[in-house]
Structures are given as structure tokens and as C-alpha cells.
């Protein structure tokens, strides 16, 4: 980790440490709605002014809150949430990616759905492939995609060796593929194979799982 990354990491640690106190977390909750004076915060929290001052200083030092003087009564100040105060608080590291490659065994359901979902939320290119591709996409995958406004009809399963590039950001969405490709790198999502049950509920469950994971990952990646 270089110096800049270490400084960013330390700043995140300081914010988490400040928010670990229930009173300070409550203050930040209130500041997400609007600016408040110490008097207003004291009335809301019901705590002594000296203790409130301690918490407010801690939030300022952690880069979570700022204060400014009232334009009306110069003796009065207001606290507001600092710009970007909550950025980067979710656990995880940001990565650069030229392209995201979703892999499963047969490239007939999970990896195809993941690629289609990714394209809805990120400008980073994506592609999918299988270690042992099927002849066609599973009907259940096509159906669940159609129910959610995604079109998979014209896609064809592809062999991993034919599409993979050295600098792909790899996401395996199948335990079999992940264990077969041990040492390849990337990240793994253990998404149950909907074809095992091959019913509507199984495909809906896989779709929901992949959608949640993709919506969480997309903000953590930036274009290389």
C-alpha cells in the first residue's frame, strides 16, 4: 500500500472510530438531514453541553462535520455534514478495471445474467464465458431476464479461452468454475446453480443475488 492509499485508509479508520460512539453516530444521522446548532443538538440528544462539545470536536477532527457562523446571530454556529463525509465508509477496496469477466461452468445462466446486470449499472465493459460452455442459454435464465426487462435471447455461451484477456477483472459466479480455476485470481461469488432445481424460484433467487452483488461491486471499480 503506497503513502496515498495509507493516508486514505487511516482517514477511513478515524471516521469509523468516531462513529463507533452511539452519540456521535446519532449526531451524524441528524446532520444527514440538515444543519443544526449545538443548542438544537443538545435539545435533541439531551446531553450536557460540555459532552456535546467533545463529540462535535471529535466529528470535526475525523472529517465528518464542519461548523460555520450564522449570518444572523454571529454568536451562533451551525454544524453540517462535511463534503464527502461518508465516502468510502463501506468496507472494501476500489480497483481499476479495463473489463469485467464473469465466469461460470456452462455460461448458460449465472454469468450471462451477471454480465447483463453489470451493463445496466456500469460503463466498464463486461463479458461472460464458461469453462465448459453449453450449446445455448438456459430457458430459465432467458425467462427471468425477460421478467426484469433484460434481453438474453441473442446471446451464445462462449469458451473461456476464447474471450479471456490478461487484464480482465475476473468474477467467478460458480463454485465449480472457481475451484477448477484455482489460482487464476479475481473474486468469487458462491451463487447456487439455478439449473439444479430448474424452476422459476431458483432463477429468481439467483437473479436477486447477482443483482445485489453487482450493485455493491460497481461503485468500487473504476475504469482503468
Asked whether 113 and 128 are in contact (CB, 8 A), the reply is: no
pLDDT band, very low/low/confident/very high, at 10 (cuts 50, 70, 90): very high
pLDDT surpasses 70 at 123: yes
In the chain, count of helices (H) and strands (E)?
A: 9, 8
Q: Which residue has the higher pLDDT, 185 or 118?
A: 118
pLDDT band, very low/low/confident/very high, at 144 (cuts 50, 70, 90): very high
List the beta strands (DSSP E) in the chain: 65-69, 77-81, 95-97, 100-104, 126-130, 169-172, 187-188, 221-223
Enclosing H/E stretch for 187: strand 187-188
User: Please, where are the H alpha helices in 20-103?
Assistant: 22-31, 38-45, 49-61
pLDDT in tens, 32-68: 999 999 999 999 999 999 999 999 999 999 999 999 9
pLDDT value of residue 37: 94
Q: Which domains does the chain have, with CATH numbers?
A: 3-81 (1.10.10.10), 95-223 (3.40.50.2300)
- Rounded alpha-carbon distances, angstroms, from residue 98 to 76, 88, 166, 222: 51, 22, 10, 8
pLDDT in tens, 199-215: 999 999 999 999 999 99
* Residue 97 to residue 58: CA distance in whole angstroms: 36
Mean pLDDT over all residues of the chain? 94
Q: Of 144, 134, 145, which Cα lies nearest the Cα of 105?
A: 134
Enclosing H/E stretch for 184: none
pLDDT surpasses 80 at 146: yes
Amino acid at each position: 500500500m503506497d503513502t496515498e492509499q495509507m493516508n486514505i485508509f487511516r482517514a477511513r479508520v478515524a471516521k469509523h472510530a468516531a462513529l463507533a460512539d452511539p452519540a456521535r453516530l446519532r449526531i451524524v444521522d441528524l446532520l444527514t438531514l440538515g444543519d443544526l446548532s449545538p443548542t438544537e443538538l443538545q435539545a435533541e440528544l439531551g446531553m450536557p453541553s460540555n459532552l456535546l462539545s467533545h463529540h462535535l470536536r471529535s466529528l470535526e477532527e475525523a472529517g465528518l462535520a464542519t461548523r460555520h457562523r450564522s449570518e444572523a446571530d454571529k454568536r451562533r454556529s451551525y454544524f453540517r455534514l462535511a463534503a464527502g463525509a461518508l465516502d468510502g465508509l463501506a468496507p472494501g477496496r476500489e480497483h481499476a478495471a479495463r473489463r469485467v469477466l464473469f465466469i461460470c461452468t456452462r455460461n448458460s445462466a449465472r454469468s450471462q445474467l451477471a454480465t447483463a446486470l453489470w451493463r445496466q449499472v456500469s460503463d466498464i465493459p463486461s463479458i461472460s464465458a464458461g469453462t465448459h460452455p453449453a450449446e445455448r442459454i438456459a430457458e430459465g435464465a432467458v425467462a427471468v431476464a425477460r421478467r426484469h426487462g433484460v434481453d438474453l435471447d441473442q446471446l451464445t455461451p462462449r469458451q473461456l479461452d476464447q474471450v479471456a484477456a490478461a487484464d480482465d477483472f475476473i468474477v467467478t459466479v460458480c463454485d465449480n468454475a472457481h475451484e477448477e480455476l484455482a489460482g487464476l485470481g479475481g473474486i468469487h461469488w458462491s451463487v447456487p446453480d439455478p439449473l439444479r432445481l430448474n424452476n422459476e424460484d431458483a432463477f429468481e433467487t439467483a437473479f436477486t443475488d447477482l443483482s445485489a452483488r453487482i450493485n455493491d461491486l460497481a461503485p468500487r471499480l473504476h475504469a482503468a
